[in-house]
Amino acid sequence: MNLRKLLLLVAVVLGIVAFFAFDLGRFFSLEFLQQSQARFAELRAQQPLALAAGYFLIYVAVTALSLPGATIVTLAGGAIFGLGWGLLLVSFASSIGATLAFLTARFLLRDSVQGRFGQRLAEVDKGIQKDGAFYLFTLRLIPVVPFFVINLLMGLTTMKAWTFYWVSQIGMLAGTAVYVNAGTQLGQLTSLKGIVSPGLLGSFVLLGLFPLVARKVVEMVQKRKVYAKWAGVRPKAFDRNLIVIGAGAGGLVSAYIAAAVKAKVTLIEAHKMGGDCLNYGCVPSKALIRSAKLAHQMRHASHYGLSDAAPTFSFKAVMQRIHDVIAAIEPHDSVERYTCLGVEVLQGYAKLVNPWTVEIALNSGGTQRLTARSIVIAAGARPFVPPLPGLDAVGYVTSDTLWDAFAKLDEVPRRLVVLGGGPIGCELAQSFARLGAAVTQVEMAPRIMIREDEEVSALARASLEADGVAVLTGHKALRCELVNGEKTLVVEHGGAEKRIAFDQLLCAVGRVARLTGYGLEDLGIPTNRTVETNEYLQTIYPNIYAAGDVAGPFQFTHTAAHQAWYAAVNALFGDFKKFKADYSVIPWATFIDPEVARVGLNEQEATEKKIPYEVTKYGIDDLDRAIADSEAHGFVKVLTVPGKDRILGVTIVGTHAADLLAEYVLAMKHGLGLNKILGTIHTYPTLAEANKYAAGEWKRAHQPHALLAWVKRYHDWKRT
* Residue 640 Cα to chain centre, angstroms: 18
Q: What's the pLDDT band for 663 if we cut at 50, 70, 90?
A: very high
Question: For residue range 388-413, what is the model confidence (pLDDT) as tens digits?
Answer: 999 999 999 999 999 999 999 999 99
Q: Is residue 491 scored above 80 in pLDDT? A: yes
**Alpha-carbon distance values, 135 to 94, 111, 200 (Å):** 19, 23, 21
pLDDT of residue 190: 53
Going by their DSSP bridges, the two strands 530-531 and 470-473 should be labelled as unpaired
Q: Are 361 and 226 in contact (CB under 8 A)?
A: no
Q: Judging by beta carbons within 10 Å of its beta carbon (0-12, 13-18, 19+), is residue 546 exposed, middle or buried? A: buried
pLDDT confidence of residue 74? 79
Distance CA 323, CA 56 (A): 80
Count of positions (residues) in the chain: 720
Does 208 or 660 have the greater pLDDT score? 660
Alpha carbon dihedral 56, 60, 63, 66, in 10-degree steps, equals: -130
Residue closest to 548 by CA, chosen among 533, 528, 562: 562
DSSP string, 503-535: SEEEE-S-EEE--SSSSHHHHT--EESEE---T
Say yes or no to pLDDT of 143 above 80. no
Minimum mean pLDDT range among 50-64, 356-370, 452-466, 661-675:
50-64
Pairing of strands 367-377, 240-245: parallel
In the prediction, which pLDDT does 1 show? 56
In this predicted structure, the answer to whether residue 467 has a pLDDT above a threshold of 80 is yes
| Nearest Cα residue to 135 out of 166, 103, 167 | 167
Q: How far is Cα 358 from Cα 244, in angstroms, rounded to an integer? A: 10
What is the rounded distance in angstroms from the CA atom of residue 496 to the CA atom of residue 475?
Answer: 10
The residue that leads in pLDDT, 73 or 630, is 630
Strand partners, 416: 439, 504
Question: What is d(CA 95, CA 44) in angstroms, rounded to the nearest whole number?
Answer: 24
Q: Residue 117 pLDDT more than 70?
A: no
Distance CA 287, CA 295 (A): 13
> Mean pLDDT across the stretch 221-228?
80
Choice between 175 and 628, residue whose per-residue pLDDT is larger: 628
pLDDT at residue 185 in the model: 67
Per-residue pLDDT at 671 exceeds 60 = yes
Q: CA-to-CA distance for 331 and 328, rounded, in angstroms?
A: 7
What residues does 362 pair with on adjacent strands?
348
Rounded distance, CA 638 to CA 691, Å? 9
More confident residue, 8 or 440: 440
By CB atoms closer than 10 A (0-12, 13-18, 19+), residue 600 is buried
CA distance 343 to 125: 40
Lowest mean pLDDT among 14-23, 390-399, 673-682: 14-23
pLDDT at residue 362 tops 80: yes
**Local confidence band at 215 (pLDDT 50, 70, 90 cut-offs):** low
- Using the predicted structure, report yes or no on whether residue 538 has a pLDDT greater than 70: yes
CB atoms within 10 A of CB 703: 9
- Parallel, antiparallel, or unpaired: how do β-strands 357-362 and 367-377 relate? antiparallel
Mean pLDDT (whole number) for 436-457:
97
Q: What 8-state DSSP symbol labels residue 154?
A: H
pTM, 2 dp: 0.78
DSSP state, 538?
Answer: B
Residue 369 has pLDDT above 90, yes or no: yes
- How far apart CA 260 and CA 242 sit, in angstroms, is 13
- What angle separates helix 282-299 from helix 315-329, to the nearest 10 degrees? 140
Strands 415-419 and 438-443: parallel
- Strand 486-493: give its sheet, edge to edge: 476-483, 486-493, 496-502
Cβ-proximal residues to 627 (8 Å cutoff; 6+ apart), any chain: 621
pLDDT band per the 50, 70, 90 thresholds, residue 149: confident
User: What pLDDT, on the 0 to 100 scale, is given for residue 155?
Assistant: 83
Domains by residue range for the chain, with CATH: 3-215 (no CATH), 240-383+513-573 (3.50.50.60), 391-510 (3.50.50.60), 594-705 (3.30.390.30)
Interval 426-452 mean pLDDT: 97
The CA distances from residue 526 to 405, 519, 538, in Å, are: 35, 12, 11
State the DSSP code for 643: T
Instruction: Using DSSP, state whether 610 is helix, strand or coil.
Output: coil
Beta strand pairing status for 240-245 and 527-528? unpaired
Give phi and psi for 511, each to the nearest 5.
-130, 150
State the Cα angle at 640 between 638 and 641, rounded to 5°. Answer: 170
Quick one: average pLDDT of 464-469?
98
* Average predicted confidence (pLDDT) for the chain: 89
**CA distance linking residue 15 with residue 22, whole number of Å:** 11
| Confidence (pLDDT) at 429 | 98
Strand-pairing partners, residue 616, are 638
Find the helix packing angle between 161-171 and 70-141, rounded to 10°: 100
CA-CA distance, 136 to 637, in Å (whole number)?
40
Distance CA 321, CA 299 (A): 21
* The dihedral formed by the CA atoms of 2, 7, 12 and 18, expressed in degrees to the nearest 10: 150
Dihedrals phi, psi of 647, to nearest 5 degrees: -85, 125
- Residue 358 carries which side chain, given as an amino acid letter? V
DSSP string for 172-231 = THHHHHHHHHHHHTGGG-S-GGGTS-HHHHHHHHHHHHHHHHHHHHHHHHHHHHHHGGGG
How far apart, in whole angstroms, are the C-alpha atoms of residue 484 and residue 169?
78
Q: CA triplet 497, 501, 507: central angle to 5 degrees?
A: 90
What average pLDDT does this structure show over 328-349?
A: 96
- What percent of the chain stands above pLDDT 90? 66
Residue type present at position 195? I
> How far apart, in Å, do the first and last CA atoms of the chain sit?
47
Q: pLDDT confidence of 532, banded at 50, 70, 90? A: very high
CA quadruple 467, 473, 478, 484: dihedral sign: negative
Asked which of 111-115, 198-202, 439-443, 671-675 is least confident by mean pLDDT, the reply is 198-202
Establish whether the linkage from the previous residue to 685 is cis, with ω within 30° of 0. yes
Each residue's pLDDT tens digit, 238-296:
999 999 999 999 999 999 999 999 999 999 999 999 999 999 999 999 999 999 999 99
Tell me 331's DSSP state.
G
Q: Which of 103-112, 171-180, 243-252 has the highest mean pLDDT?
A: 243-252
Amino acid at 673: G
